[in-house]
Amino acid sequence: MLKLRISYKIIIGVGFITSVAIIVFSYLILRSQCQGMVSQLRLSGYQLSETIKSSTRHDMLTADQENVHRTIDQIGMQKGINKVRIFNKIGMIMYSSDKDEINTMVDKNAEACYVCHAADQPLEKLSIPERTRIFKGNDGHRSLGIINPIYNEPSCWQGDCHAHPKDQKVLGVLDITLSLEDTDRLIALNRKRMVIFGIVVLTLVSVILWRLVQKLVGEPVKMLVEATKVIASGNLNHKIKINSRDELGDLAQAFNVMTEKLVEAQHQVYQQDKLASLGRLAAGVAHEINNPLTGILTYSSFLLKRSEHYPEIKDDLDVIVRETKRCRDIVKGLLDFARQVPSKKSHLNINDVICHSLDLLENQLLLHHIHVEKELSPTVPDIIADANQMEQVFINLIVNAADAIGEQKNGVLRIKSEAQMINFRNYVKIDLSDNGCGMSEDQLSKIFEPFYTTKGQKGTGLGLAVVWGIMEKHGGKIKVESQPGQGTTFTLLFPVDGEQSSL
Amino acid sequence: MGKPYDILIIDDEEVVVNATIKIMSLEGFTVDSALDAKTGLEKLATQQYRLLLTDLMLPDMSGYEVITYMKAKGIQIPIILITGYATLDNAVKAMKMGIFDFIPKPFEIEELLGVTLRAWRVQADDIPADPPCPSRRYLGKHAWVDIDSDGRAHIGAAALFRKTVGTINHIHFPARGQEVKQGGQCLKFQTDDTYQHTLWSPLSGIVIETNHTIQQHPTRLKDENPWLVQLLPSNMDAEIKHLTL
């Protein structure tokens, strides 16, 4: 299939319409111009014929043929006048500027006679346009012929020179032929001008259109195509720089937003995949590792039992047993993490979950002298979630906050819940902040990874990974902000009505 | 034929078998072994043992099939299932099938001897069954759970456990807020013979409260049958199917 650029398509389309318009317009103008000029000429021809009639009237009445001849000759010699002649009723040419024609007969079917003699009974009255005719002369140029009937009048039949019968209405015809050569030349010139004008306009319109289309469509589309290729090649950080405020600008913006979302989605899929494959791997490894671990643990503890009288070996064996048990606990934690418990979702009020979690950990909070500030909005809508898993989330976060506050005396845990609208979706937002030891940028980037812990041997490194997994399962989001020495804030977003999050 | 063995262990891991033989010798138990289920079942058919230890995942057969076989043959010796952590659900299922207890790998000497001695005592004492109670469900004959109307669960030890465990020195309770799994460790008992006994949780959930009285007076457990841990179950509907009335 022939590939046609949009610009060419538009130019061909617009060019076609423009040329049709120009052609029709020029045709109409030329035609009316032509008609105007011809009718002007007709009028002046008629006036001329009237002038001849009146100037020869006297000579006719006095039958001064010499004078009539002279007058007709003189007029016939003027530029633009081909012929002046008078023929009588039977068609004999009485006078003519062309001497050779005199006394010859005119065929009644000739173009000069035809108008009146077409019917059986010849017409006697004619309007001005009917008196004229346009025909092509022998010299190749067009000519305008005007006939002017010479009517009978009392002076004609009362004169004693030559008797015209009284009942004869038309005595003869004055016929003038004017050349249209000049007019035709003018019309041809105008036509040429129109064609040149048309070509110039068409070319101009095409060039301007081409530039416009290229600027407004071609270049942005090219950028979009290039950006698509860059993104397809894996560089998702590419941004399109189109600032125009038209549809293509909107498209570019939508494109940029799409790539941003793509990066986020990719990150999430990556994180999910990582956790899922880690779970499978953990289960497999743990199962395989259990048998050799059993060997080490049993043999070493067996040796330990028998070495009670050898304190120098006992201490070393103690270390082996202790460290093997640590291995066992790691494997156990890994398996607990890998074991997926299906969510049992129901409508619940997040404030109740928070209060319940705080109740459960009351002793621990008292022990750490942590003051709890609750700012729970009573109007938060219900969310659809697994109550136990939600409690697990809050318990984990609260225990972490308590650990971060540690021995500090003025520890404060602030929990705030509120309804929020983001991208036309309803969310419940929970902020959980402590004024504990906080975390560095580097630590923040790892806290949701399994087995990452800041608590040394006290933590399993699975708490936040579990929280992340639960939030993910509920279509929610968890974000964390922290400054070393200042404290940490976890922000949780739950979609209301269990809608899929679009953040 | 010499003196019959006390215990048969079926496990395809030689290191586990050898370790078990050594550990059992500490208490004077004699142990016969089989590295696959087929050999094990042959030995069970021809010889008398007083206790069976079997791995859940054997190369030619599962531990379930061994249990089913023994039931069919009418061999009524206590069975202790050796499991990995990955197979908690299987262990819970096996408890429903009537095994005495299970022990997850890797185990310590104190844990293995603890559970073995408990099983051994079953044969010596006549242990009365727990009285039936409509709100109470049992994990085998090991632990019970009472479910309140408000959804909280109280966990206690079944008669078989209480009567066989021996003299308790110390009970290790879970922390409040801690998560426990069905078939996972709920409480750990230290007895005066230095051995350890684990009470498996009948349900998964978050620990809300522990029984302080028993914490201070562990010996009361034996006669009073008190609740030990209060739990907020997390997956009760699915898990309760594995428990018996």
Predicted pLDDT of residue B80: 93
Are the CB atoms for A457 and A448 separated by under 8 Å?
no
Q: What is the pLDDT of residue A112?
A: 62
Mutate to test the interface with A, among B87, B108, B235, B237 (most CBs of A within 10 A): B108
Nearest one of A163, A200, A180, A148 to A19, comparing CA atoms: A200
Pull the structure tokens for residue B46. Answer: 């021809």
Closest CB to A287 among B86, B179, B237: B86
**Least Cα separation, residue A470 to chain B (angstroms):** 13
Which residues make Cβ contacts (< 8 Å) with residue A470, sequence separation at least 6?
Answer: A343, A386, A389, A390, A392, A393
Q: For residue B45, what are the contacts with CB-CB under 8 A and spacing of at least 6?
A: B73
pLDDT, position B9: 94
Q: How many residues does chain A have?
A: 503
Alpha carbon distances (Å) from A234 to A103, A132, A227, A228, B171 = 103, 84, 11, 10, 58
Q: What is the DSSP letter of A121?
A: S
Q: How near does any CA of chain B get to the CA of A259, in Å?
A: 39
- Spatial distance between the Cα atoms of B46 and B5, rounded to a whole number of angstroms: 12
Q: DSSP characters for A281-326?
A: HHHHHHHHHHHHHHHHHHHHHHHHHHTTT-HHHHHHHHHHHHHHHH
Give the gap in angstroms from C-alpha B211 to the nearest C-alpha of chain A: 15
In what side-by-side order are the strands of the sheet with B168-172?
Answer: B168-172, B185-191, B196-200
* Predicted pLDDT of residue B102: 92
Only one residue has tokens 């289960």, namely A283
Contacts of residue A37, defined as CB under 8 A and 6 or more positions apart, other chains included, come to: A183, A186, A187
Burial class (CB in 10 A: 0-12, 13-18, 19+), A66: exposed
Q: Starting at the edge strand that comes first in sequence, how are the strands of the sheet with B153-157 ordered?
A: B136-139, B143-147, B153-157, B229-233, B205-210, B179-180
Q: Which residues of B touch A364 (CB under 8 A)?
A: 176-177
Nearest CA in chain A to B185: A332
Size of interface A-B (CB pairs under 8 A): 106
| Disruptive mutation site among A388, A395, A400 for chain B (greatest number of B CBs within 10 Å) | A388
Given this chain, do its domains A247-338 and A345-495 carry the same CATH topology? no
- Do the chains contact at A399 and B177, CB–CB below 8 Å? yes
Reply yes or no on whether the pLDDT at B110 is more than 60: yes
> Looking at the complex, does the CB of residue B241 fall below 8 Å from at least one CB of chain A?
no
In this complex, the residue of B109, B179, B208 whose CB is nearest that of residue A298 is B109
ipTM confidence: 0.79
Q: Which residues contact A388 (CB under 8 A, 6 or more apart)?
A: A344, B205, B206, B232, B233, B234, B235
Looking at the partner chain, which of B16, B26, B238 has a beta carbon nearest the beta carbon of A291? B16
Report residue B31's pLDDT band, with 50, 70 and 90 as the boundaries: very high
Q: Contact at 8 Å (CB) between A325 and A297?
A: yes
Distance of alpha carbon B227 from alpha carbon A3, whole angstroms: 82
How near does any CA of chain B get to the CA of A348, in Å? 15
Q: Is B206 on the interface with A (CB under 8 A)?
A: yes
Q: Which CATH class is domain A345-495?
A: alpha beta
Q: Within the 305-364 window of chain A, which residues sit less than 8 Å (CB to CB) from chain B?
A: 305, 321, 324-325, 328, 331-332, 335-336, 338-339, 341-342, 344, 360-361, 363-364
Instruction: Give the integer Cα–Cα distance in Å for A417 and B206.
Output: 23
- Min Cα separation B13/chain A (Å): 7
In angstroms, rounded to a whole number, what is the distance separating the alpha carbons of residues A235 and A228?
10
* Phi, psi angles (nearest 5°) of residue A356: -65, -40
pLDDT of the residue at A501 = 44
Could you give the domains of chain B?
Answer: 7-124 (3.40.50.2300), 136-242 (2.40.50.100)
Shortest CA gap A401–chain B (Å)? 14
Is B85's CB within 8 Å of A286's CB? Answer: yes
Which pLDDT belongs to residue A1? 44
Q: Which of B181, B208, B238 sits opposite A360 (nearest CB)?
A: B208
Give the strand pairing for B205-210 and B229-233: antiparallel
A chain contacts of residue B105, beta-carbon cutoff 8 Å: 290-291, 293-294
Domain A247-338 has CATH 1.20.144: no
CATH of domain A6-186: 3.30.450.20
Residues of A in contact with B110 (CB under 8 A): 301
Contact A388 B233 (CB under 8 A): yes
Cβ of B176 within 8 Å of Cβ of A283? The answer is: no
Say whether pLDDT at B186 is over 80.
yes
User: Which pairs from A252-261 meet CB under 8 Å and 24+ separation?
Assistant: A252/A220, A252/A223, A252/A224, A255/A224, A255/A227, A259/A231
Q: Is A334 buried (19+), middle (13-18) or exposed (0-12) by CB count in 10 A?
A: buried
Q: What is the pLDDT of residue A304?
A: 86
DSSP string of B23-78, one letter each residue? HHHHTT--EEEESSHHHHHHHHHHS--SEEEEESB-SSSBHHHHHHHHHHHT----
Does A366 touch chain B if contact means CB atoms closer than 8 Å?
A: no
Mutation to test the A interface, candidates B12, B87, B109, B173, most A Cβ within 10 Å: B109
Which among B24, B234, B237, B240 is the top mutation candidate for probing chain A, defined by the most A β-carbons within 10 Å of its own β-carbon? B234
* CA–CA distance, A384 with A346 (Å, rounded to integer): 5
DSSP structural state of residue B127 = P
Beta bridge partners of A376: A417
Quote the minimal CA–CA distance from A285 to chain B in Å. Answer: 10
The structure tokens listed for B171 are 């009970």
| A267 in contact with B, Cβ within 8 Å | no
Residue spans per domain, chain A? 6-186, 247-338, 345-495
pLDDT in tens, B115-135: 999 999 886 656 667 777 788
* Top-confidence residue, B1 or B200: B200
Does A465 reach chain B within 8 Å, measured CB to CB?
A: no
10 Å Cβ neighbour count for B71? 13
Q: Whose CA is closest to B204, among B148, B242, B173?
A: B242
Cβ-based contacts of B238 with chain A (< 8 Å): 342
CB contact under 8 A, A290 and B106: yes
CA–CA separation, A292 vs B13, rounded Å?
Answer: 9
| CB-based contact, A288 to chain B, within 8 Å | no
Cβ within 8 Å, pair A339-B84: no
How close does chain A come to B127, measured CA to CA in Å?
31
A-chain residues near B184 (CB < 8 A): 336
User: Which position has the token pair 């079942």?
Assistant: B41
Render each residue's pLDDT in chain A as its tens digit; 503 residues.
456 677 788 888 888 998 899 889 888 988 998 888 888 888 888 888 888 888 888 887 777 878 888 888 888 888 888 888 888 877 788 888 877 878 888 766 666 666 666 656 666 677 767 778 888 877 778 888 888 888 887 777 776 666 577 777 778 888 888 888 888 888 889 889 888 988 898 899 889 988 888 888 888 888 888 888 988 888 888 888 877 788 888 888 888 888 888 888 887 777 777 767 777 777 777 777 888 888 898 888 888 888 888 888 888 898 998 889 888 887 777 777 666 556 677 888 899 889 888 887 777 788 788 899 999 989 888 888 888 788 888 888 888 888 888 877 788 999 999 988 887 788 899 999 998 888 888 888 888 877 777 766 556 677 788 888 888 888 888 888 988 888 899 999 988 865 444 44
